[in-house]
């Protein structure tokens, strides 16, 4: 018989193995019962050879992965190991107003001083710089802002009885130096000097497609009336999903 051709006994053996192991691996269970009676000695030897080859290949694969892990440890690649074992955290930021550095003005004024690492403020995989929140990953983000205005008679009389209290959330493309207002909200209020206390809160939020490098900032009118408490004036963002 030609060496390149399989014998009839070997063909029968393969058919028998397939019959009894259609839905399970060859090495999964030992021979037994009807299968042992139907198999010849040569067939059993063939199965044992298959089992040995499979086990050897599995040991080779496991050994390679173990060697890679040991190599990473020896080279000090702890950061690489952490990235493999733990998925990257989704970007988010929650910034609270810095009440010690609030600008003056009555019209649209940039709020450039925010806390990002104290109290309730926190940031991850985003960047805060020069009063702006920078996006580091492309994606769809939920942006939000809550701005509180207040006035007490002990702060002195208001210059005008009717004042406009507005909030703007702006996106800036640094590369082309172009800014767009994504959200705004507010109202014109009549705060007479005869009232002891005034309070007004503006809350805006929405989903937006943002690209890496774009920056988010907040503008308000009459910033001297801002409530500096961390539960009153804040803004933030978190990534919802990737861009398809």
What is the reported pLDDT for 125?
A: 95
Domain contains 143? yes
Domain contains 29? no
| Residue among 94, 101, 185, 106 nearest 148 (CA) | 185
Tens of pLDDT along the chain (244 residues) come to: 454 455 666 666 766 665 655 544 444 444 445 555 556 676 776 667 767 766 776 676 666 666 665 665 555 554 554 454 455 689 999 999 998 888 887 788 999 999 998 899 999 999 998 889 999 999 999 999 999 999 866 566 666 667 889 999 999 998 888 899 999 999 988 876 667 788 999 999 999 999 999 999 999 999 989 999 999 999 999 999 999 8
Domain contains 26? no
Give the list of residues 6+ apart from residue 151 with CB closer than 8 angstroms, or none. Answer: 158, 191, 197, 198, 225
Range of the domain at 223: 92-242
46 and 140, same domain (yes or no) = no
C-alpha distances (whole Å) from 115 to each of 25, 120, 167 are 59, 9, 19
Calpha distance 152→225 (Å, rounded): 10
Give the count of domains, the chain: 2
**pTM for the structure as a whole:** 0.62
Residue where the block lists tokens 């709020």:
111
77 and 122, same domain (yes or no) = no
Domain contains 218? yes
116 and 217, same domain (yes or no) = yes
129 and 226, same domain (yes or no) = yes
Calpha distance 94→115 (Å, rounded): 9
Calpha distance 154→117 (Å, rounded): 32
107 and 213, same domain (yes or no) = yes
| Beta-carbon count within 10 A of 214 CB | 22
Q: Structure tokens of 66?
A: 């173990």
Residue count of the chain, please give it. 244
Domain contains 97? yes
Residue where the block lists tokens 């067939």:
43
CATH of residue 145:
2.60.120.40
Residue 130 and residue 199 in contact, taking contact as beta carbons nearer than 8 Å: no
Q: Would you call 122 exposed, middle or buried from its count of C-beta atoms within 10 A (0-12, 13-18, 19+)?
A: middle
Are β-strands 234-241 and 92-97 bridged in parallel, bridged antiparallel, or unpaired? antiparallel
Domain contains 34? no
Q: Would you call 241 exposed, middle or buried from its count of C-beta atoms within 10 A (0-12, 13-18, 19+)?
A: exposed
Domain contains 101? yes
Calpha distance 2→234 (Å, rounded): 83
């Amino acid at each position: 018989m030609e060496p390149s051709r399989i014998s009839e006994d070997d063909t029968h053996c393969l058919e028998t193995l397939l019959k009894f192991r259609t839905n399970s691996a060859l090495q999964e269970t030992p021979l037994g019962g009807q299968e042992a009676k139907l198999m010849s000695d040569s067939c059993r030897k063939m199965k044992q050879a298959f089992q040995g080859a499979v086990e050897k290949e599995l040991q080779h694969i496991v050994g390679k992965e173990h060697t890679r892990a040991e190599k990473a440890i020896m080279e000090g690649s702890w950061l690489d190991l952490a990235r493999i074992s733990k998925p990257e955290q989704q970007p988010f930021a929650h910034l609270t107003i810095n009440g010690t550095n609030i600008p003056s003005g009555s019209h649209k004024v940039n709020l450039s001083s925010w806390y990002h690492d104290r109290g309730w403020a926190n940031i991850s995989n985003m960047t805060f710089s020069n009063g702006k929140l920078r996006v580091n990953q492309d994606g769809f983000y939920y942006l939000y802002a809550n701005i509180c205005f207040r006035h007490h008679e002990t702060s002195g009389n208001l210059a005008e009885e009717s004042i406009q209290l507005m909030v703007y959330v702006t996106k800036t493309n640094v590369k082309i130096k172009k800014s767009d207002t994504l959200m705004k909200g507010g109202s014109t209020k009549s705060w007479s000097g005869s009232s002891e206390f005034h309070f007004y809160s503006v809350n805006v939020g929405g989903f937006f497609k943002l690209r890496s490098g774009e920056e988010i900032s907040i503008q308000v009118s009459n910033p001297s009336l801002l409530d500096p408490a961390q539960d009153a004036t804040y803004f933030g963002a978190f990534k919802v999903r990737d861009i398809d």
